[in-house]
Structure 1
Amino acid sequence: MPLLTLKIDADTYRGTREGVPNLVRLLSKYQARATFLFSLGYDHTGWALKQVFRPGFFQKVSRTSVVEHYGFKTLMYGVLLPAPDIGKTCAAYMQAVDAAGFECGIHTWDHRVWQDHVRQRGADWTSQQMQRSFDRFRQIFGRAPLTHGAAGWQMNPHAFEQLEKFGMAYASDGRAMLTDDGALADQAAGPHRLQVNGKTLACIQLPTTLPTLDELLGRSFNGVELTPENIAEHILALTATPRDHVFTLHAELEGQKLAPIFERLLQGWQAQGYDLVSMEDYYRHVKDQVLPVAPLTWAELPGRSGEMIMQET
């Protein structure tokens, strides 16, 4: 039975308080397993307004209705409103996910700060940010985190080395290259180990192999625009041929207004014969295999602005 790993990024205060509990209920309804990755520090979502001059930013905003999905108040955090401390104020929501039996891990300390700056920062800044997340996770859950999924698929060599120091055996920090319609550009993409600064790291990377909803919504393929009414069918066509996949979703999107789309995907994937699993489940499935080693590389993906960590196959 092929595995479809569900990786949930909780980027914001609102997403953690509202989207996360909705997703727990929906996943439980279909007896699907998943991994929730939490932002554990401040919500500076409003700082995203600095991206207005970044290539592709306006196209994404117009396609995905950012204000509708994130809310005007969230877009003011760090600008006109103080940035809430997510881990401090939402610990009970995170603990409820753990109590419901779902795997929990680290997304980041401050999503906006990490995504915008990590690629240019050095070892001290990087380790400080990651240690804050590690310590806050342990404070909330009473144990050390086992996994990590980078905010915006942004990392640097020091960050990958820090995962080794934390002793994390698996993470999902990057992407697999996709064609314009979201199909895998190379069927060999999947679990691998990274080579960083001449050293092959022990931590197994489980890259996202499917497009996200916000990368597809509003775009046209073969003359047909993808809308909330037909996007699930488009993604299910990408998974019609059985193989293991990792799908990244967001508490702010699939956990709120796009929940009906995600429910159709859950139904469709189960009908296709997929076992819906967590990152830990997928890791246990591949950990004893001889996995390829890939260098640390960056590339752009259709529907998303800027470069991100990309598996070279």
Structure 2
Amino acid sequence: MIQKNENALGIKIDVDTYQGMKKGVPRLLDILDRFNVKATFYLSMGPDASGRAVLQLIKNPLFLKKMIKSNAPGLYGIKTALYGTLLPSPMIALSFPEIVKQIISSGHEVQFHAWDHRRWQDELDAKSVEWIKRWFDKGVNAFAKLTGHMPSSFGAPAWLIDDRVMEIIKEYKFDYLSCTRADKPFIHENIGVMEIPSDLPCIEETGIDSAELAIISVLKKGGIHVLPVHAEVEGGIRSNYFIQLLEQIRMMNYPVTTLCEIKELLPQNIPVRKYKMKLLAGRSTLCAV
């Protein structure tokens, strides 16, 4: 058990796609078991409509730049690029109840990430409040059916939220959120819910060498931090990078844990803040910060 005032690194693993759930999660479970560390898995429940991202190639030049830089075909595979367009959208976590059981039985935390990740990421601003409510209702009910309990946290797809989302979030009485990219945890203004943000960079934003250098540089200063990981990336063709990173973290004797334990380590008097939207380096769309 990590004590208050100690260093701690929370690992937040987002599962965005069918292939990420099918192949990336088992690989990540093996890696985490090898290092004897626990993580928090944020699961997408419903349809993988990743193929609809082709619309972003037309509308958003930054998205095309990101896809080229991150080697998207290698990360996600050809099938994923067709789901929701030329191929039907398979369910993500709902297709793999045994893998979900394995995550839980291995001692990791599971939380709610999405119902339809792609449509939230690309179309949230154009959707109605009623659509957002249905999205949460479908996703949370599916999570409860799959795990046997309600989620106690929500991590927004692509770190994308708005004031309508925050009002709906209040109804679910989550213990904490992980919906932003920020330096330190805070309390969300108006809804009074704790935010445990991702403060370290994603590999697909900066590249392997830059991400590793930035992460280790921050950890050398100590403190509580959260590393965002994607099942499709660190559980896919970038798994060797993740292994190398965990080896360095182990050599530093830096404690690694779940976000729910991070919550227990935080002081009571963390600041109250209002999120804002910002385009971060390496991203193609605005993120809550």
Same fold, TM-score > 0.5, yes or no:
yes
TM-score category (smaller protein)? over 0.9
Instruction: Provide the residue aligned with 2:106 in structure 1.
Output: 100
TM-score, normalised relative to structure 1: 0.87
Is 1:216 paired with 2:218? Answer: no
The aligned length equals 283
Is 1:249 paired with 2:239? Answer: no
Distance 2:44 2:94 in 1: 11
Instruction: Provide the residue aligned with 1:144 in structure 2.
Output: 150
Secondary structure at the residue paired with 1:144?
coil
Of 4, 10, 14, the residue aligned with 1:9 is: 14
Distance 2:219 2:274 in 1: 27
Distance 1:279 1:7 in 2: 7
Is 1:44 paired with 2:46? Answer: no
Between Structure 1 and Structure 2, the one with more helix by share is 2
Of 188, 204, 219, the residue aligned with 2:194 is: 204
Instruction: Provide the residue aligned with 1:193 in structure 2.
Output: 187
TM-score, normalised relative to structure 2: 0.93
- Equivalent residues in 2 for 1:127-276 (5 A)? 127-176=133-182, 189-195=183-189, 199=190, 201-217=191-207, 228=208, 231-276=211-256
Is 1:84 paired with 2:78? Answer: no
Deviation at 1:239, TM superposition (A): 2.4
Is 1:66 paired with 2:72? Answer: yes
Q: Is the 8 A contact 2:201 2:214 kept in 1?
A: no
Q: Which runs of 5+ in 1 are unaligned?
A: 177-188, 218-227
Percent of residue pairs identical? 29
Q: 1:280 to 1:122 in 2, by over 3 A?
A: same
Q: Is the 8 A contact 1:300 1:308 kept in 2?
A: yes
Distance 1:303 1:116 in 2: 17
Deviation at 1:233, TM superposition (A): 3.8
Deviation at 1:255, TM superposition (A): 0.5
Is 1:23 paired with 2:17? Answer: no
- Equivalent residues in 2 for 1:103-118 (5 A)? 103-118=109-124
Deviation at 1:41, TM superposition (A): 0.4
Secondary structure at the residue paired with 1:127?
helix
Q: CA offsets, 1:244-279, max 9 Å, x none? A: 111101000001111111111111122223211111
Q: Is the 8 A contact 2:51 2:81 kept in 1?
A: yes
Q: CA offsets, 1:174-218, max 9 Å, x none? A: 112xxxxxxxxxxxx3110112xxx2x23200111011000011x
Deviation at 1:56, TM superposition (A): 1.3
